């Protein structure tokens, strides 16, 4: 019987360590993606780029939560650790912007999000 207590303690320690590692990975991914994108078109102001990055980040985390709930691990992997590569204003329509994201672990996977200007003070995700 004493061995079962030791095994239970070891399982508890392993579970806590695994949960801690998962939390650390999410925090690192979160802060890693908060930096400004490496390239942005000059027609957008730095404030507009910041707003666009915030909107994309919020939308991306909505998709991550949905993928986690639905157990869509491939989708989860693409969005959870994605990095924004560029933010560009649409040359045809000044009211639109395109954001290109790259999946962290698969170089061939890219996600493109389109946003449109919402009034004078913001941007919103456009399907």
pLDDT tens for each residue of 89-100: 877 667 888 888
Q: How far is CA 45 from the centre of its chain?
A: 22
**Burial of residue 101 (number of CB atoms within 10 Å: 0-12, 13-18, 19+):** buried
Q: Using DSSP bridges, classify how beta strands 39-40 and 83-89 pair: parallel, antiparallel or unpaired.
A: parallel
In whole angstroms, what is the distance from residue 85 CA to residue 78 CA?
A: 14
pLDDT tens string 40-72: 555 778 888 888 888 888 888 888 888 888 888
pTM value is: 0.61
Query: Which of 121, 126, 119 shows the shortest CA–CA distance to 97?
Result: 126
Residue 126, sorted as left (phi over 0), alpha (psi -120 to 50) or beta, turns out to be beta
Question: How much of the chain, in percent, has pLDDT values that exceed 70?
Answer: 79
Residue 37, pLDDT > 90, answer no
**Burial of residue 40 (number of CB atoms within 10 Å: 0-12, 13-18, 19+):** buried
User: Domain limits of the chain?
Assistant: 33-126
For residue 14, the model assigns a pLDDT of 92
DSSP label of 84: E
In whole angstroms, what is the distance from residue 20 CA to residue 123 CA?
A: 35
């Amino acid at each position: 019987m004493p061995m079962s207590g030791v095994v239970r303690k070891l399982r508890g320690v392993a579970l806590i360590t695994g949960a801690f590692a998962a939390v650390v990975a999410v925090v690192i991914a979160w802060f890693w993606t908060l930096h400004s994108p490496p390239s942005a078109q000059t027609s957008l102001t730095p404030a507009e780029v910041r707003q666009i990055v915030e909107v994309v980040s919020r939308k991306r985390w909505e998709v991550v939560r949905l993928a986690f709930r639905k157990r869509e691990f491939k989708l989860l992997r693409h969005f959870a650790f994605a990095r924004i590569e560029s933010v560009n204003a649409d040359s045809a329509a000044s009211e639109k912007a395109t954001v290109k994201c790259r999946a962290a672990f698969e170089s061939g996977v890219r996600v493109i999000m389109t946003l449109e200007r919402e009034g004078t003070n913001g941007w919103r995700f456009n399907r």
